[in-house]
Structure 1
């Protein structure tokens, strides 16, 4: 993958000029930058033509970590583009979207999901769509579904957060954000230096090995993760992530409130296997929960099994 650090001037859908390093797009297809209340978002689309609007579109939303981007859902994106309209988005602070020095919270990420859905419906009409979130973005897509259920046909959750540790079942939408930790991370003496250490290639590799539960990671993801974390402003959103501002204290309450068909898939390997609270939704008629012998990014390991399960779920929904 050829990635240059040369900065270029680009133009958004609204004609606003902005500077962005020449990072390769994380997925193929048409990129459209949209201006929203949470900033400029890069969206991607593939697998549809003007005469195919009768096919229900699919929106894929990547996870949040130090190196998040739509590359994390690339295998699903490429697969489903052969059969249906597929869309993806870089969340605020990641990928090709704006990486301004601003607050990055669960509310902002949820609003970005709403904006991405609106973009899909602008292309295909106001029909309900299928949405899949990955890891922490499952919290954002679930909240978006609770707030605007009419926009969703089904909801897919891959390796969702919110079922681990102490139950996050408060009734008010607060986060686990810790301002003291954010202030420590943002202290000028080590602000940039700490992020450089966090995003060194060996560190990124170690994180991916923990997610996979194996050393057999996807090497192309490692390369993209390294390049995307070395773009201007790359540290701002991850610091809010590490400080807890994207983790909602009421997410179990949100999950329990969902009435649409939900497909949840999780693995059994790696560091992300704590789903002790899934009993709160398991057995509900609208929830389908499947488990795979894989890591958190199972769609890079066993794509055929994952899409077979998801397609069976859609056929019954």
Structure 2
């Protein structure tokens, strides 16, 4: 009986190997045929668009609309598999008639450089520094207001702590880092990256095909529904995200995100150190509703915290409510000479 068992085991192992090999070949073929990695990416926002070559962050993408007068505002999208400036579109469209507005695309996303490299919080902070330097050079070195979504809120917090004179106020929409899993008082300027996982994921020939599967329409819809906490997602965002995620090099930054390299180790400590006026708003629906550590800052005079019965992107669901609340916050802080 033993030789028969070994024979069957050998056949089973061979069958599994053939199935895996066939699946791998299928994924590669599907990626080449369906990935459409060279589909033109339209601009996410109206106004001026430029790509700026920076010394520490590579080439970054910056949108702007500067016809109105006032304190410049910088908007920063979140971090996910398909992040880009479209995520701040409702805010950009509303506020550009009231003040100069800029929208940064962080390294690895949108029209910014998408080379294969380590994407870390430090790289993102350097990109924010470069964008703010550019904005201030164009507006008489005035301190800017800045707003960031989700995980990027921690990058903005660190950037403002390093150059506090460059900022008048901060706004954080659904900021990561007040929850149980990603709050942190670990080593300063560190990250949670696992190099072995990144090396496993971001490796040819299967790195790109696997990412194409992750960034398929069904998968992206699933994750957007978790973000919105509802099946009622923004279809314009969904369509743009899909195109953006199928550009050459689109997999590199998301793989760093998945492997943990973009998650700071000291987020809680960053928020606690903020002394600038801070406006924070978040939703109460979906997968991103753990704000158990908010009491650490909620009682401070420089923080204003609001909630809405929405998902993690309240500015898409209730744009008028969000912009009105943000403008009320801005009106309440000390006005600068250029206001």
TM more than 0.5: yes
1:244 counterpart residue number: 260
Cα RMSD of the aligned pairs, angstroms, is: 1.4
Report whether the alignment pairs 1:162 with 2:177: yes
State the alpha-carbon separation in 1 of the partners of residues 150 and 236 from structure 2: 20
Query: Which of 218, 225, 230 is residue 234 of structure 2 equivalent to?
Result: 218
Query: Which of 61, 65, 71 is residue 76 of structure 2 equivalent to?
Result: 61
- Cα distance, 1:171 vs. partner? 4.6
Report whether the alignment pairs 1:128 with 2:143: yes
State the alpha-carbon separation in 2 of the partners of residues 131 and 173 from structure 1: 20
Could you tell me whether the CA contact under 8 Å between 1:171 and 1:253 is conserved in 2?
Answer: no
State the alpha-carbon separation in 1 of the partners of residues 64 and 308 from structure 2: 28
- Cα distance, 1:190 vs. partner? 2.4
- Cα distance, 1:185 vs. partner? 1.0
Matches within 5 A, 1:174-193: 174-193=190-209
- The CA deviation string for residues 163-209 of structure 1, in whole angstroms up to 9 with x for no partner, is 11144012522111111211221243521121011000011011111
1:36 counterpart residue number: 54
- Cα distance, 1:58 vs. partner? 0.5
Report whether the alignment pairs 1:22 with 2:37: no
State the alpha-carbon separation in 1 of the partners of residues 77 and 140 from structure 2: 24
State the alpha-carbon separation in 1 of the partners of residues 220 and 171 from structure 2: 26
1:196 counterpart residue number: 212
- Cα distance, 1:217 vs. partner? 0.6
For the residue of structure 2 that corresponds to 1:284, the secondary structure is: coil
Could you tell me whether the CA contact under 8 Å between 2:194 and 2:259 is conserved in 1?
Answer: yes
> In structure 2, do the counterparts of structure 1 residues 307 and 251 end up closer, same or farther at CA, with 3 Å as the change threshold?
same
State the alpha-carbon separation in 2 of the partners of residues 171 and 244 from structure 1: 15
State the alpha-carbon separation in 1 of the partners of residues 50 and 198 from structure 2: 32
Greater helix content? 2
For the residue of structure 1 that corresponds to 2:62, the secondary structure is: strand
Matches within 5 A, 1:284-299: 284-299=300-315
Q: Which has the larger radius of gyration?
A: 2
Query: Which of 317, 322, 327 is residue 301 of structure 1 equivalent to?
Result: 317
Aligned length: 296
Could you tell me whether the CA contact under 8 Å between 1:47 and 1:83 is conserved in 2?
Answer: no
TM-score by length of 1: 0.91
Report whether the alignment pairs 1:46 with 2:46: no
TM-score by length of 2: 0.85
Could you tell me whether the CA contact under 8 Å between 1:67 and 1:228 is conserved in 2?
Answer: yes
> In structure 2, do the counterparts of structure 1 residues 6 and 254 end up closer, same or farther at CA, with 3 Å as the change threshold?
closer
- 5+ long unaligned stretches in structure 2: 1-35, 334-339
1:108 counterpart residue number: 123
Could you tell me whether the CA contact under 8 Å between 1:168 and 1:252 is conserved in 2?
Answer: yes
- 5+ long unaligned stretches in structure 1: 8-20
Report whether the alignment pairs 1:255 with 2:274: no
- The CA deviation string for residues 258-296 of structure 1, in whole angstroms up to 9 with x for no partner, is 100000101001111111111111110101110110010
Could you tell me whether the CA contact under 8 Å between 1:163 and 1:276 is conserved in 2?
Answer: yes
- The CA deviation string for residues 227-265 of structure 1, in whole angstroms up to 9 with x for no partner, is 000000000000001111111111111111110000010
Could you tell me whether the CA contact under 8 Å between 1:45 and 1:87 is conserved in 2?
Answer: yes
- Cα distance, 1:22 vs. partner? 3.0
1:228 counterpart residue number: 244
